[in-house]
Amino acid sequence: METYFKLTQEGMADERVEAMYSDIKTKFNVTFIPDFFKALAFHESLFAGIWDGYQKLLVEGTIPKNIKEMIFLTIAIHKGCNYCSSTHLAVCNMLEVSNDNLSSILKNVEDVNPRRVRLILEFSLSLISNPRSIADETYDDLKAEGITEEEIVDIIGITILSNTAVNMAQSMGLSVEEEIQEYLDQEDLQTGLRPKIAA
């Protein structure tokens, strides 16, 4: 089944979208445009806003890129999004997140090491599940691991971005791109989630 929305292919968009496509390929160091962005491209102002958020929160910021990708993967798995979990599993692997931690994220976040990273991922899950339930002790534990207030805000930001992107990908009916699936197959990686089945 194809996405519920028309995908704007490279070379078929207007100048502003093509410039963002070029920027995405450069900033993410990829050779293709993910369907997530192609599906957004027909709504240029939304696309521009989402891409700006990706740059400020995923590409830049104070938390290392591999931990941000682990947050994204954790949320995608938690929400059952095969599209996002496949993409971010591949990126985590490219960023040399350990096989043990990848396995733990896919099965049980409580097994992630070191403790600092585990606390970050558990905090992110709490943020999307029930943010009002987060106790002062949670923030104390993060700070005890040397995580600054600026970094905590960065974690909150990437968590919100990840949650929004996962919701959007699921709402748009996106399927895993061929390039991502080929990479996962080559690396013998799988999310454990069922791919979308054609109607």
Interval 46-72: pLDDT, tens: 999 999 999 999 989 999 999 999 999
Q: Judge whether 87 lies within some domain.
A: yes
Residues 169 and 129 occupy one common structural domain: yes
pLDDT on residue 127: 97
* Rounded alpha-carbon distances, angstroms, from residue 191 to 10, 49, 89, 133, 186: 28, 29, 7, 29, 14
* Mean pLDDT (the chain, rounded): 93
Residues 71 and 148 occupy one common structural domain: yes
Is 166 buried (19+), middle (13-18) or exposed (0-12) by CB count in 10 A? Answer: buried
The H or E element spanning position 197 is: none
Interval 82-91: pLDDT, tens: 999 999 999 9
> Which CATH number goes with the domain that contains 121?
1.20.1290.10
Residues 32 and 79 occupy one common structural domain: no
The answer to whether the Cα torsion of 73, 164, 80, 195 is positive or negative is: negative
SS3 165: helix
pLDDT on residue 133: 87
What mean pLDDT do residues 32-57 have? 94
Q: Judge whether 140 lies within some domain.
A: yes
Residues 36 and 104 occupy one common structural domain: no
Q: Judge whether 196 lies within some domain.
A: no
Q: Judge whether 100 lies within some domain.
A: yes
The answer to whether the Cα torsion of 13, 38, 154, 183 is positive or negative is: negative
Residue ranges making up the domain that contains 51? 1-60
Task: State if pTM tops 0.75.
Answer: yes
Residues 28 and 75 occupy one common structural domain: no
SS3 151: helix
Residues 116 and 163 occupy one common structural domain: yes
State the pLDDT confidence band at 1, using cuts at 50, 70 and 90. very low
Residues 69 and 136 occupy one common structural domain: yes
Please say if the pLDDT value at position 196 is more than 60.
Answer: no
